Structure 1
Amino acid sequence: MSDAVEQAYLEHWARLLALLTAELRDLDLAEESLQDAFTAAVTAWPPVPANPPAWLLTAARRRAVDRLRRTAVALRKMPLLIVEEPDAHEVQDDRLRMIFTCCHPALAPEARVALTLRCVGGLTTRQIARLFLVSEATMAARITRAKKKISEAGIPYRVPSGPELAERRDGVLAVIYLIFTEGYAATEGDRMITDELAGEAIALARMVTELMPDDTEAVSLLALMMLHHARRDARTDPDGRLVRLAEQDRALWRHDEIEAALALLRPGLPGPYLVQAAIAAEHAAAPSAPETDWPSIARLYEMLEAMTGSAVVRLNRAVAVAEAFGPARGLALLEGLDGALPRHHLLPATRAELLRRLGRVDEAVEAYGRALALVGTAQERDFLHTRRAELTL
C-alpha cells in the first residue's frame, strides 16, 4: 500500500469514526459502543458488509441501547441489593451474610430457603426441586414468586443484627442443612458425595454457632453434620460403589471428628436437629452394626415425626422399626406415603428391601424398578440394579 493510499484510508476511517460518534453522542455511550462494534467487525468480517459504515452504526447503536437497558435494570434493582456493613461482632463471612440477608421473614419459609439455595448456595432449580421433593416447574414458580415479592414490596437486602439474627435462624439452618444434604447425598449426577460442598456447609454452621453459642439447635445441627460427614471414607468402596451403613468398615470412620461432634451435644429442649443428632450419635457409638441400638433409634424417630410431621422422617422411622422389630412392622409404616413422596426414590427402594426380607420376591423386583425410574445418581442406580439382579438370576 502506497503512502498516499494509506493516508487516504486512515482519513476515511477517521471521518467514519467521527460520523458514528456524532450519531451516538446523545446515548452517552459512543466510545464503548463503537469499540464493541469494531471488535464485532473484526470477528465477523469477512465477508465485508455491502455498506460497512451503516453496519457499524447499526451495531454500535444496538450495543449502546443494550448498555442503557442494562444500566436501567441495575439502577432499578440496586435498592434490593444494598448490603450494609456488619457490626464488628456480627456476620463477617460474605456468604453467610448473604444467607442471613436472603432469609427474610417476609417470605414464606420454603420460599426463602429455596431462593437462598438458588441465589447464594448456587444449586440449580432442578437440584432444589429434588431436595424439596417437588417438580422442577413447581420449584421454578416458587422461586419466581419469591423474587417478585421482594421486588414489589421493596424488601431491602440488608444484613440483620441483634434480635433479627435469631428471627432468621430457622431459615439459615435449613439452607445450611440442605447444602450439606446435597453434598452428602447428591440428588443427581455422577458423584453421590461431594466432600467440598458438605465441608462448606459445616464451616458455615460453625460460624453460626460462633454467632449463637447458646443456641441448642444451631450447635446440634453442626454436631449432626459432623457425625454424618465423619463416615465419608467408608460410604463408597475403592471402585466408587455405594456401601450401606451396615456394611461399612468402621475403622475408616473419622473417630476424632465423631468425638468432637459428640462433645458439642448438650442437654436442652428437644428440637428437630437435636433429635437427629441423637440418632446419628447412636449410630456413631455402636461398635458394630449388629450392636446398634435400633429400638432407641426407632423411638427417637417417632419423637421426630411427632415434631415435624415429615413423610421423610416416617420413611426413616420405618427402616429403624424394621431393624428393631422386623420388616413386616416397618413395611406397615410405609403405607400411605406414596402420595406424599411421589418423586423420592428411597420410598420404593426401602419397600423393595423390606419385601425382599419377607420373601416377597416379585413385589420386591417391581419396587426396585420403580426406584430405578426415580433415582438420580449413578452410584445409587448401580446399587439398585445389582440388588434387583440378585433376585432375578
Structure 2
Amino acid sequence: MTAPDFEDLLRELAPQVLGTLVRRHGQFEGCEDAVQEAVLAATLQWPAEGVPANPRGWLVTVASRRLIDQLRSDHARREREAATAAEPLPEDVPDTDDTLVLLFLCCHPALTPASRTALTLRAVGGLTTAEIARAFLVPEGTLAVRISRAKQRIKASGGSFALPVGAEREERLRVVLHVLYLIFNEGYTASSGSELHRPDLAREAIRLTRAVHAQLPGDGEVAGLLALMLLTHARRETRTTVAGDLVPLEEQDRKKWDRGLIDEGTELAKASLAGPTLGPYQLQAAIAATHADAATAEETDWPQVHALYLILERIAPNPMVTLNRAIALAETEGPAAGLALLAGLDDDARMAGHHRLLSVRAHLLERGGDPAAAYAHFRRAAKATASLAEQRYLESRATRIGPPAPGVAPSP
C-alpha cells in the first residue's frame, strides 16, 4: 500500500473511530486527541509492519488505551478514570459508522459558522490544525484556539452524541450541508491567496458528502449537493492555464472535463429532482448539469439556466443567485436586461463593493458597447478581490479593453 493509500484509509477511518470513542466515553476533546495519537501511531507502524486485519479495530484499541492513559494522568477526573479504566478494551468493534453523528455534533447550533467549518475539517476530515490554517490563511495559533473553544462550547451546551430527531434533525442536516458546501467552495475558488483553488479541500468536501449520501441516500438535497460538487469539480483541470491564470467557463476546453464525474453528477442530479420536494442544492445541480450537457459554450441552454435560477431565487433568495440570473438573462435577452437586473443589487449591503458584482457588470458593459465603463469596473473588481488569480484575470480584461481616451468619462 502506497503512502497516499495509507492517508486515504486513515482519513476514512479516523471519524469512525472518533465516533465510536465519543459514543462510548463522551469527552469529545479527549477522544479526539486520543484518535490523533492513534492515527500517528498507525502512520509510523503500518508502513513497516503492514496494515492489520482489522485496521478500524486496531485504531479503536490504541485510541482507547491513549484515552485511559490521559484519564489516569488527570487527577481532577479520578472518578471518571476509574469507571473508564474498568472497562475491558474492545475486542469486537461495532460495524456502525458514526460519521454522520459526528458531523451533526461538529455542526452544533451553538457554534459559529467558522468554528463549525474548522471543527468539521479537524474532527471528521482528519486535517491537521496547520493544514486548515493554511487553507484559510489564518495563523495556526488562532485556529487552534477557535477549535478548542468550539469543543468547549459543545461541552457546555450539553450536546449529546446522538442524531437529533424530527424537525431538529432536518434543521441540523441543513447546517451540515451548508458547512460542506462552504468547504467545497473554498476549495474550488479560494477566497484569497495565490492559488485559484485548493483541490484538497474540494476533494475532502466531496468525500464527506459521499459519506452523508451513503447514510441518507433518499434525501434529495444531499444527492443534489453531491451532484453539484461532482459536476463543478469535473472542470477543475481546465479552470486555469499552466501559469495559473483563470480561464472562464466559456473559454474552457470541454473535452478535458472529467466525463466520469459529469456522468455520475448528472445521474445524481436527475435522481434528486424526482423527489417530492425541491431545494437549492438540487436546483444548483440542475444548472451545473445543463452547462455540462452543452458540447460548446454556444450550445448552452440559457433559457433553461435562467428558468432554474428564477426558481432558485424564489425558494432561496440570495444576491449571488440574482447575480447569476443576470448573466443568464443577458444571454437570452441581451446585456441591457442583465444590467437592469444588476441595478437592483446596488442597495444590498452584502454586495457593496463585491468583486463579483463589479466584474459581472464590467462584462455586461463591455458586451453592451461601453468599454470605458467596463474598463473602470474591471479595475475596481481587481482591487476588490483577495485572490491573486482573479486579480490577474480581471486586470487582463481591463488591459484588453484599454483605458478610455482622454476626455471620455465612463458611465456610472
Both structures adopt the same fold (TM-score exceeding 0.5): yes
Q: Give the secondary structure class of the aligned counterpart of 2:163.
A: coil
Q: Is the counterpart of residue 116 in structure 1 residue 130 in structure 2?
A: no
Structure 1 residue 88: deviation in Å? 5.1
Question: Of the candidates 203, 206, 217, which is equivalent to residue 202 of structure 1?
Answer: 206
CA distance in 2, matches of 1:73, 1:270: 51
Q: Give the secondary structure class of the aligned counterpart of 1:160.
A: coil
Question: Of the candidates 158, 170, 180, which is equivalent to residue 161 of structure 2?
Answer: 158
Matched residue type, 1:92:
D
CA deviation vs aligned residue, 1:260-295 (integer Å, no higher than 9, x gap) = 111223112211111001000100101111010001
CA deviation vs aligned residue, 1:175-215 (integer Å, no higher than 9, x gap) = 11110000111100111111111111111111101110110
CA distance in 1, matches of 2:316, 2:294: 26
Structure 1 residue 152: deviation in Å? 5.5
Q: Give the secondary structure class of the aligned counterpart of 1:287.
A: coil
- Percent of matched pairs sharing the same residue: 40
Matched-pair contact (CA < 8 Å) for 2:107–2:120: no
Matched-pair contact (CA < 8 Å) for 1:297–1:320: yes
Deviates most, 285-294 or 372-381 = 372-381
Question: Of the candidates 370, 377, 390, which is equivalent to residue 360 of structure 1?
Answer: 370
Question: Of the candidates 294, 306, 323, which is equivalent to residue 286 of structure 1?
Answer: 294
Provide the residue aligned with 2:262 in structure 1.
Answer: 258
CA deviation vs aligned residue, 1:300-338 (integer Å, no higher than 9, x gap) = 001101111101111111111111211111111111324
Question: Of the candidates 304, 329, 346, which is equivalent to residue 296 of structure 1?
Answer: 304
Q: Is the counterpart of residue 346 in structure 1 residue 356 in structure 2?
A: yes
Q: Give the secondary structure class of the aligned counterpart of 2:362.
A: helix
CA distance in 1, matches of 2:77, 2:256: 51
Question: Of the candidates 374, 380, 390, which is equivalent to residue 390 of structure 2?
Answer: 380
TM value normalised by structure 1: 0.68
Matched residue type, 2:197:
I
CA distance in 2, matches of 1:373, 1:117: 27
Matched-pair contact (CA < 8 Å) for 2:383–2:391: no
CA deviation vs aligned residue, 1:243-273 (integer Å, no higher than 9, x gap) = 1111110110011111111122311221111
Does the C-alpha gap of structure 1 residues 89 and 148 become closer, same or farther in structure 2, counting only changes over 3 Å? Answer: closer
CA distance in 1, matches of 2:161, 2:206: 24
Matched-pair contact (CA < 8 Å) for 2:309–2:325: yes
Q: Is the counterpart of residue 191 in structure 1 residue 201 in structure 2?
A: no
Matched-pair contact (CA < 8 Å) for 1:102–1:112: no
Give the aligned CA root-mean-square deviation in angstroms. Answer: 3.6
Does the C-alpha gap of structure 1 residues 162 and 358 become closer, same or farther in structure 2, counting only changes over 3 Å? Answer: same
Matched residue type, 1:171:
V
Matched residue type, 2:336:
A
Provide the residue aligned with 2:174 in structure 1.
Answer: 170
Does the C-alpha gap of structure 1 residues 159 and 359 become closer, same or farther in structure 2, counting only changes over 3 Å? Answer: same
Structure 1 residue 100: deviation in Å? 1.5
Mind listing any 5+ residue stretches in structure 2 that lack a counterpart?
1-73, 79-89, 123-131, 139-145, 404-412
Matched residue type, 1:212:
L
Matched residue type, 2:257:
W
CA distance in 1, matches of 2:234, 2:391: 24
Structure 1 residue 160: deviation in Å? 2.4
CA deviation vs aligned residue, 1:4-30 (integer Å, no higher than 9, x gap) = xxxxxxxxxxxxxxxxxxxxxxxxxxx
CA distance in 2, matches of 1:151, 1:72: 20
CA distance in 1, matches of 2:219, 2:266: 16
Q: How does 1:38-49 map to 2 (within 5 A)?
A: none
Matched residue type, 1:232:
R
Deviates most, 256-265 or 207-216 = 256-265
Q: Give the secondary structure class of the aligned counterpart of 2:242.
A: coil
Matched residue type, 1:298:
H
Q: Is the counterpart of residue 179 in structure 1 residue 183 in structure 2?
A: yes
Provide the residue aligned with 2:323 in structure 1.
Answer: 315
Matched-pair contact (CA < 8 Å) for 1:99–1:116: no
Provide the residue aligned with 1:92 in structure 2.
Answer: 98
CA distance in 2, matches of 1:74, 1:241: 55
Provide the residue aligned with 1:324 in structure 2.
Answer: 332
Question: Of the candidates 227, 234, 249, which is equivalent to residue 230 of structure 1?
Answer: 234
Rg comparison, structure with higher value: 1
CA distance in 2, matches of 1:310, 1:128: 26
Equivalent pairs counted in the alignment come to 301
Mind listing any 5+ residue stretches in structure 1 that lack a counterpart?
1-70, 76-84, 130-141
CA distance in 2, matches of 1:224, 1:74: 47
CA distance in 2, matches of 1:335, 1:363: 15
Structure 1 residue 343: deviation in Å? 5.2
Structure 1 residue 170: deviation in Å? 0.5
CA distance in 2, matches of 1:150, 1:92: 17
CA distance in 2, matches of 1:201, 1:169: 15
CA distance in 1, matches of 2:105, 2:352: 33
CA distance in 1, matches of 2:172, 2:94: 19
Does the C-alpha gap of structure 1 residues 391 and 102 become closer, same or farther in structure 2, counting only changes over 3 Å? Answer: same
Provide the residue aligned with 2:244 in structure 1.
Answer: 240
